[in-house]
Structures are given as structure tokens and as C-alpha cells.
Amino acid sequence: MSESDKKRITVDIHNRTYTIVGTESPSHVRLVASLVDQKMKDIHSVNKQLDTTRLAVLTAVNTMNDYLKLKEDYATLLGSLKKKEDK
């Protein structure tokens, strides 16, 4: 992957502007940023005393928890499909 393949996309997350550099499409980067922003808003709405660093860490922990649950569900589904195919 060369530098020319990378795109710079500016997004807003929790009232701050970030420039994301990568190879994903701008629409994908904006979607990810929007989801992060929404998760931070959700957490902040019930924990208004959190500073930005703690809010970001809680958002990362919650997001990783959701990811691991989905990954486990995916593995379970693949196992179920394999069992059905083996019958």
C-alpha cells in the first residue's frame, strides 16, 4: 500500500475534529466516526461527570465488548452451519 492509496478524511467525534488517514472509503470512515460519536454520546448521557479521556476509554471498552460478543456469535453460527453441512 503506497501513500498515494491513502485518503485523508476529516470527521467530528465528541465535538472535536480529527483527520483520519487510511485506505478505507470516505463513507466508511464517516460511518465509523459517526458510530463512535454516538457511542460516546450514549455513555456521556448517563455519566456526565466523565472527562474526555475516561469517556474515550469507556467507549473503547464498550465497543470491544460488543465486538467480542459479535465475534463469539459469528463463531457459534459458523459451527452450527458446519454441523448442518456435515449431516
Q: Is 81 helix (H, G, I), strand (E, B) or coil?
A: helix
State the CB neighbour count (10 A cutoff) for residue 81: 10
Q: What is the domain range of residue 34?
A: 3-86
Q: Residue 87: what pLDDT?
A: 77
User: What is the number of structural domains in the chain?
Assistant: 1
What predicted TM-score, i.e. pTM, was given to this entire model?
A: 0.83
pLDDT digits (tens, 9 = 90+) for 70-79: 999 999 999 9
**Mean pLDDT value across residues 2-22:** 93
Strand extents, DSSP E, 14-74: 16-22
DSSP 8-state class, residue 5: G
CA nearest to 61, candidates 31, 37, 40: 40
pLDDT digits (tens, 9 = 90+) for 15-40: 999 999 999 999 999 999 999 999 99
Q: Is 11 helix (H, G, I), strand (E, B) or coil?
A: strand
